[in-house]
Amino acid sequence: MSSCCMCAGRCEPANKFFSKIAKHYARRFRRSGLGKEQRLLLEGIRRDSVQGKRVLDIGCGVGALHLSLLKEGAAHATGVDAAEGMVKKAQLLSEEFGVAEKTNYINGDFVEYAEQLHDAEITMLDKVVCCYEDVETLVKKSTEKTAAVYALTHPKESLFVKTLFKSHIALAALFRWKFHPFWHDWQKMREMIVGEGFTCVYDNSTMSWRVLVYKRV
């Protein structure tokens, strides 16, 4: 694992918040496997073979998605996460899955590390774009790294989900919580992905998440 030196600023609240709850993510994955939105994301990605592909998992958490793809024949996965606790759990799980030699992990802000990373055929951002303030730079730098498939989930634009997010953001401001999620202009973000040279090939949703898979055209 590369050590984190880039989280001292923008990602430090996410580092603290997600490191604390990493053990819950790992326990849930061990007990119940993938979440519904993750199963849908993989369904969209698998429309093309994943055999031999290189995967970049940004905001990888405990690694559920890329560990699944490695089990299915992907060649290599790089997991990047701002939270040290998440990266440590992902490393442990990669050993349990017997795929540790096909992984490498970076603990830090992807935006800061992007130049140092190899391109990938499959890039994933699962429930990450709502955890980062500068979503435009995150999307720009991650699409640049993507040779073929760009897969992400973002909060669904329903009144229910929007109210939930906005309430969380308001409470965070009131009580001065260090970490809070972000509600971005999701349509603008989707247009940006298309503007970077991608077309949407899979569009699905759960109650809370929009699940999108794009292919480079």
Ligand X SMILES: C[S@@+](CC[C@H](N)C(=O)[O-])C[C@H]1O[C@@H](n2cnc3c(N)ncnc32)[C@H](O)[C@@H]1O
Where on the chain is the footprint of ligand X (CB under 6 A)? 11, 14, 18, 25, 58-61, 64, 80-83, 86, 109-111, 126-128, 131-132, 138
Given the complex with ligand X, which of 99 and 152 has the nearer CB atom?
Answer: 152
Number of Cβ within a 10 Å radius of residue 89: 23
Whole-angstrom Cα distance, residue 102 to residue 88? Answer: 16
The distance of closest approach from Cβ of residue 217 to ligand X in the complex, given in angstroms and rounded to an integer, is: 26
Q: Write down the least CB distance from residue 128 to ligand X, Å.
A: 4
Q: Could you tell me where the DSSP H helices lie in 46-152?
A: 64-71, 84-96, 110-113, 135-144
C-alpha span between 125 and 191 (Å, rounded): 16
Q: What's the one-letter identity of residue 202? A: Y
| Closer to ligand X by Cβ: residue 110 or 198 | 110
Q: Which residue has the tokens 């880039």?
A: 6
CB of 81 to ligand X, least distance (A): 5
Pick 119 or 199: Cβ nearer ligand X: 119
Report the nearest approach of ligand X to the CB of residue 32 (Å).
Answer: 12
